[in-house]
Amino acid sequence: MTTATATASGTFELGGSTPVVRLGYGTMQLTGDGVWGDPRDPDEAIRVLRRAIELGVNFLDTADSYGPVVAEALIKDALHPYADDLVIATKAGLTRSGPGDWRPVGRPEYLRQQCLMSLRHLGLDEIPLFQLHRIDAKVPLADQVGELKLLQDEGKVVHIGLSEVDVDQLSQAQQFATIVSVQNLFNLTDRSAEALLDHCTAAEIAFIPWFPLATGALARDSGPLQQIASRLDATPSQVALAWLLQRSPVMLPIPGTSSVAHLEDNIAAADLPLPAADVAALDAVGG
């Protein structure tokens, strides 16, 4: 059993007021195949969530569309009543038409409905971080972010975040609300959001990388990631997470898993310092 805890990753304050442990947990993999339906092992899903909290995680990322509804319900079943310091981030703006099918819907009335549904499913009076899952190109951005701002003004949402945006879209959204986080694809092998990350770092906006453990060929036996992991007596996943944590102080990785053993392996990355030479080597070969 691991002795490492997520708290070794340090903390970041969302919006300058809500502290979270930087190494969090993402709940998408708790659902069925194609992020659809119930988990294969519901009891293990509950154990994973409770073990994450035991290991110091206090930042959980989820969405109404995971299941749909399944992940939010699991969080409530496993953890309610919640610890005072637990920060649950959920998302709205993607609808589901079956396994693996995701469709943006950003109409204000829909985003409001989903916020109210998430409050009910999670058993919350207010959502600590409510994120627009995708910008809907068919709806003015002012209407989408503006509705989130109205929900915030009504006390249903504490902080507002975005997902899969670029710097220009972030800047546009900031005209209508204070944005405290963005969630974009980012990992060792896909750094297409690097300009956004650098922008967020300078502005002290949280950057939540989804799919943080994609390592591809870098993790092969002869690859640089495996070589570094072997030398540090670590796993490639741990090195990949440690690299993310050292890449920027605003980085909040949320690796997901449906296994307690894999969760413990991921959490150990919080206590894995990467030598500067290894960071430079990974900087050079990825992307």
The residues annotated as belonging to the active site are 66
Give the per-residue pLDDT at 217: 67
Give the per-residue pLDDT at 287: 57
| Cis-peptide into 99, omega within 30 deg | no
Confidence of residue 83 (pLDDT cuts 50, 70, 90): very high
Asked whether the predicted pLDDT for residue 1 surpasses 50, the reply is no
pLDDT in tens, 86-106: 999 999 999 999 999 999 999
Give the per-residue pLDDT at 220: 75
Asked whether the predicted pLDDT for residue 152 surpasses 60, the reply is yes
**Contact by Cβ (8 Å): 58, 85:** yes
Beta strands 127-132 and 206-210: pairing type?
Answer: unpaired
pLDDT in tens, 180-197: 999 999 999 999 999 999
Which whole number is the average pLDDT over 65-86? 98
Q: Parse the chain into domains and list their residue ranges.
A: 10-215+248-257
- Spell out the SS3 assignment of 21-63: ECCCEECHHHCCHHHECCCCCHHHHHHHHHHHHHCCCCEEECC
Share the mean pLDDT of the chain: 95
CATH class for domain 10-215+248-257? Answer: alpha beta
Burial (CB count within 10 angstroms: exposed 0-12, middle 13-18, buried 19+), residue 219? buried
Gap between the Cα atoms of 49 and 124, Å rounded: 17
Confidence of residue 37 (pLDDT cuts 50, 70, 90): very high
Confidence of residue 264 (pLDDT cuts 50, 70, 90): very high
Confidence of residue 109 (pLDDT cuts 50, 70, 90): very high
Asked whether the predicted pLDDT for residue 219 surpasses 90, the reply is no
Asked whether the predicted pLDDT for residue 2 surpasses 60, the reply is no
Give the per-residue pLDDT at 223: 80
